[in-house]
Structure 1
Amino acid sequence: MKRFNDPIKDDFRNFLYLVWKHLNLPDPTAVQYDIADYLQHGPKRCIIEAFRGVGKSYVTSAFVVWLLYRDPQLNILVVSASKDRADQFSTFTKRLIAEMPLLAHLRARPGQRDSSIAFDVGPARNSHSPSVKSVGITGQLAGSRADVIIADDVEVPNNSMTETQRQQLAIRVQEFDAILKPLDTSRVIYLGTPQCEMSLYNELLKRNYQIRIWPARVPDKAQIAAYGDRLSPFVFDLIEKGWKAGAPTDPQRFDEDDLFEREASYGRSGFALQFMLDTRLSDAERYPLRVSDLIVMSINPELAPVRLAWAASPEARLELHNVAFNGDHFYRPMWVDKEWTPYTGSVMAIDPSGRGGDETGYAIVKFLNGFLYVTAAGGLPGGYDDDTLLKLATLAKDHQVNHIIVEANFGDGMYTKLLQPVVQRLHPCRIEEVKHSSQKEKRIIDTLEPVLMRHKLVIDPKVIEQDAKSVHIYPADRAQQYMLMYQLTRLTKDRGSLAKDDRIDALAMAVAYWTESMARDADRAAADLREKKLQEELDKFIDGAMGRSGRPRDLWVRV
């Protein structure tokens, strides 16, 4: 890189300090300085993964200005998931130029482009491409030319939730290769926080990109091994200095208490993604529940087939809203018996919510011949308000539920007392409380895993689609946490692995009801069989002891 013998032009960190002073901010933190150094000296194709809230977008906006300060002839394209987000980046950049006296010579002159989304700097020569342009990833990328492309949070929950969305995003960013000028100094710089375990940023490693990672906490040995050479040398230096695993890497931004609060809010898996940048896909023992083990079919409200057959064959694959891991798909049954018969029964499980951000989870599961049929499942944002209680009672009536079970760990039975009169008025049926004392995550997995592995859980596709639609009322970055299918595929046995678990907990309660019932039936059947065999043996003994006279059995007198 060209040397200017100017401390501001030679070292971006000096320029960053001036920007922070202009903005009346505290001095840049050590992590921000390290990100700044990597922006200046990093490779041609690089990815900066830093924990949420570290200020990487602000640092990079200053970097864009610094690049133009050094070379006003550059063309820089800013791309984000949405045009609004990209425009915010370019607007902030333009304001720095307009407000800082040091940058007065870069302000646009009469006749030059001067909008917030596409502007020129004063010394720039006439060109088809503006000095800085912002665009959304789904916007018009073709026709642009750039020396530097800044991809600022192109991956967000709304465009990476399903496998299809992730594939579409990967195709969109391929356009960068056509936009980038064929110069040795041209660069593509991604800024982001992975939104899922199958993050685009991991896929970019196959395209010769290099990742530099700044986690919020000092990683432990297992995490260090997983990061490998992608972990910032800055973090390695902290470890060599004696910083213990779990300590904040940037205590000026987030101290230990703050990080603990955020971990409780996001859940362990969410915190691992958003703050530790840990996208490892663990083995089946960690994520044991998979949607491919379900049988997906339209469920009749009154009858079900006597038997079903599951198969994960390509021709049986269903294209539904799928938030599971790549390669984990929904499948319809391979074969359905022509004989149909009424269900044995229908149970509704309810996991009540308090006044916080949790939902009231519910699941309705019907039973026939060893198969469990999920006819309804979801969550209601309310807790014990009249509207929520009425909706639950209406669901029980619509699905002809004959038994309701309620998690009794809330309010010492108060929820059941509130629900009972509403249900009795609308749809009289038995209501029972259940209590759980074991660890929730382990209990749910121990309940659902055997049923799924035997392919005994059948779910209506309407339940899956409604599950996806019902979370639109929540913020985009948190919405998927409320989805039943997300909770099912992201649950681990780690305590607090999910930020939200109301829907999966309700489903596990309903399944447990029937599996316990099946176990009791099996025990009774086994006892009946033992008694029958014992009686047969006793009859044989009596026949042998009394002689075979040929007289009818009912003439023998038993003592």
Structure 2
Amino acid sequence: MTDPPADLLEFVWVWNSQAGQGTPPVHRRVLRWLEGRRAAGDHRLLLMAFRGCGKSTLVGLYCAWLLYRRPETRILVLAADHPLATKMVATVRRIVERHPLCRPLVPASPEAWAVDRFTVERPGALRDPSMLAAGLGGNITGLRADVIVCDDVEVAGNCDTAGKRAELRERLAETEFILTPGGTILYVGTPHCAESLYRTAQEGESWLAGYRRLRIPLLDGAGRSAWPERFSEAMVAQLRERVGPIHFSRQMLLRPVAAEAARLDPALLIRYAEEIDYREAQGRPVLSLLGRRMVSGGGFWDPAFGRPERGDSSVLAATYADAEGNHYLHRIAYIVQEPDAPDDPATQQCRAVARLARELLLPVVRVETNGLGRFLPAVLRREMARAGAACAVVEQHSHRAKQERILSALDPLLAARKLHAHEQVFRTPFPVEMAEWKPDVAGTRDDALDALSGCLLAEPVRLPGAPPAARGAGWRGIDGTVPALTQSYM
């Protein structure tokens, strides 16, 4: 007489015990729901849980358990891209190889045992593998599956415009033609936009109407953590500060908050009037601001050549950062050219940027090369050399939507009150642009916001630990000698 097959919770307990770890209550809740829905015959499921909950790992164990219970099951994992889907398939393959209850599933001579597809020991001769990974951009026509796991099919890059959202839904509709009669579709993910796939009818039009849902936000209505051992009150506060209110609401509280809910309030900027202070100690340069040592800094230039009153503005933002995570918007410069000047507009603007880079001791200036800026880095490098600025020029091509860049850069810092701005910034159009900014509204001015977001999102460039080579007006003066013990730069 053989033992009855293990239920899902027991299956996971065996796996966790083998790894020397427990099964927290939040995981047991997910596992009971998955098995309960299967027993009830529910075939359209949506699992929403906060980021870091381990939902993909649990779903991987669920897939391995399905193969353990019925080896002829065919599972398709569909994700935003193929590598993400492969990650889950590879995880399930590893579980099948190592789980004590899955040993009969490992074939003696596996013909298909790759990281993105594998076939277990099973009766019959089915054409499709036991488990297969596919990205939304791949061709899945002709496949057949008994279970389809849509794991993180909605990500920031494929839902930030109406056209992308329509394309996403069109591709997902194909799953209904792949699923076998009586099969199951399980969506796993978190919302990334206001028009999320996962929103309920109360939140707007529901793409997944009729799906049975399990929703586990990080915090309940009383503010208690769903996993206090891992996400303590202090850790939750730090996370909220790092990612900002919008992303925290979407990814951790599972609310499809509209981007319009973001308010870039200039009053949240911490105003200061001091200039950067350069000192040398034992031949090593130190740059300070407000009595704090700066550890990184740089500029971001979003160029334009039209008239600012009729089109985009050409804007340079210059920022510094200290070791405590405070950022300092030291300058916002609207770069203009004279139509009657002997030099061409590109040279005029590059010369102005090079002059500011020298004055502000910027170690790097990144140039937005989308569109008009493609030929500017070479001109800017020439003008940097002529100005004697010890400043690198880096080409920057943006792939994310401008709205997403601005929100992800400014929202966390403003919420945490870690973004400072020099009083000169308040004498430019920047505060008005910031206060009037509305995502997804055509014609809204955002050139300075885009330049600032470029600075904040860029990989920090550390200020050099040794003085730069004498190229002109660097930190060591025009001829390489130290001009004075202390200098302030306007």
1:424: Cα distance to partner? 11
Amino acid at match of 1:163: A
* Correspondence for 2:211 among 169, 188, 209: 209
The alpha-carbon distance between structure 1 residues 214 and 40, as it changes in their structure 2 partners (threshold 3 A), is same
* Correspondence for 1:199 among 192, 196, 205: 196
Aligned to 1:23: 19
* CA distance, structure 2, for counterparts of residue 64 and residue 512 of structure 1: 48
1:252: Cα distance to partner? 2.0
Task: Tell whether 2:245 aligns with 1:268.
Answer: yes
The alignment partner of 1:144 has SS state of coil
TM-score (ref. length: structure 1)? 0.53
Aligned to 2:67: 68
Aligned to 2:274: none
Q: How many residues align?
A: 349
The alpha-carbon distance between structure 1 residues 287 and 175, as it changes in their structure 2 partners (threshold 3 A), is same
Aligned to 2:227: 250
The alignment partner of 1:212 has SS state of strand
Map of 1:125-144 to 2, 5 A cutoff?
A: 125-144=124-143
Aligned to 1:33: 28
Single out whichever of 272-281 and 355-364 deviates more from structure 2.
355-364
The alignment partner of 1:77 has SS state of strand
Amino acid at match of 1:483: I
Cα deviations across residues 353-382 of structure 1 (Å, max 9, x unaligned)? Answer: 99589986789999x99x686413475676
Amino acid at match of 1:215: P
Aligned to 1:118: 117
The alpha-carbon distance between structure 1 residues 13 and 364, as it changes in their structure 2 partners (threshold 3 A), is same
1:81: Cα distance to partner? 1.0
User: Which has the larger Rg?
Assistant: 1
Map of 1:426-505 to 2, 5 A cutoff?
A: 472=398, 481-483=404-406, 496=415
* CA distance, structure 2, for counterparts of residue 58 and residue 213 of structure 1: 17
Aligned to 1:152: 151
1:164: Cα distance to partner? 1.6
The alpha-carbon distance between structure 1 residues 425 and 41, as it changes in their structure 2 partners (threshold 3 A), is closer
Cα deviations across residues 42-67 of structure 1 (Å, max 9, x unaligned)? Answer: 33111111111110011111100100
1:102: Cα distance to partner? 2.2
Give the aligned CA root-mean-square deviation in angstroms.
4.8
The alpha-carbon distance between structure 1 residues 12 and 141, as it changes in their structure 2 partners (threshold 3 A), is same
Amino acid at match of 1:73: E
The alignment partner of 2:150 has SS state of strand
The alignment partner of 2:148 has SS state of strand
Q: Percent identity?
A: 23
* CA distance, structure 2, for counterparts of residue 16 and residue 195 of structure 1: 30
The alpha-carbon distance between structure 1 residues 104 and 255, as it changes in their structure 2 partners (threshold 3 A), is same
Cα deviations across residues 215-236 of structure 1 (Å, max 9, x unaligned)? Answer: 11112xxxxxxxxxxxxxxxxx
* CA distance, structure 1, for counterparts of residue 402 and residue 294 of structure 2: 19
Task: Give the structure with the larger strand fraction.
Answer: 2
Aligned to 1:540: none
* CA distance, structure 2, for counterparts of residue 75 and residue 248 of structure 1: 36
Aligned to 1:509: 431
Task: Tell whether 2:396 aligns with 1:396.
Answer: no
1:109: Cα distance to partner? 3.6
* Correspondence for 2:314 among 366, 369, 376: 376
The alignment partner of 2:134 has SS state of strand
* CA distance, structure 2, for counterparts of residue 78 and residue 246 of structure 1: 34
* CA distance, structure 2, for counterparts of residue 66 and residue 100 of structure 1: 10
* CA distance, structure 1, for counterparts of residue 94 and residue 432 of structure 2: 57
Task: Tell whether 2:86 aligns with 1:87.
Answer: yes
8 Å contact from structure 2 (residues 316, 335) kept in 1: no
Which structure has more relative contact order (CA 8 Å, sep 6+)? It is 2
* CA distance, structure 2, for counterparts of residue 23 and residue 270 of structure 1: 33
TM-score (ref. length: structure 2)? 0.59
Question: What are structure 1's unaligned runs of at least 5 residues?
Answer: 220-244, 290-352, 401-418, 427-460, 514-559
The alpha-carbon distance between structure 1 residues 423 and 399, as it changes in their structure 2 partners (threshold 3 A), is farther
8 Å contact from structure 1 (residues 76, 148) kept in 2: yes
* CA distance, structure 1, for counterparts of residue 196 and residue 314 of structure 2: 31
The alpha-carbon distance between structure 1 residues 421 and 5, as it changes in their structure 2 partners (threshold 3 A), is closer
Amino acid at match of 1:268: P
8 Å contact from structure 2 (residues 79, 153) kept in 1: yes
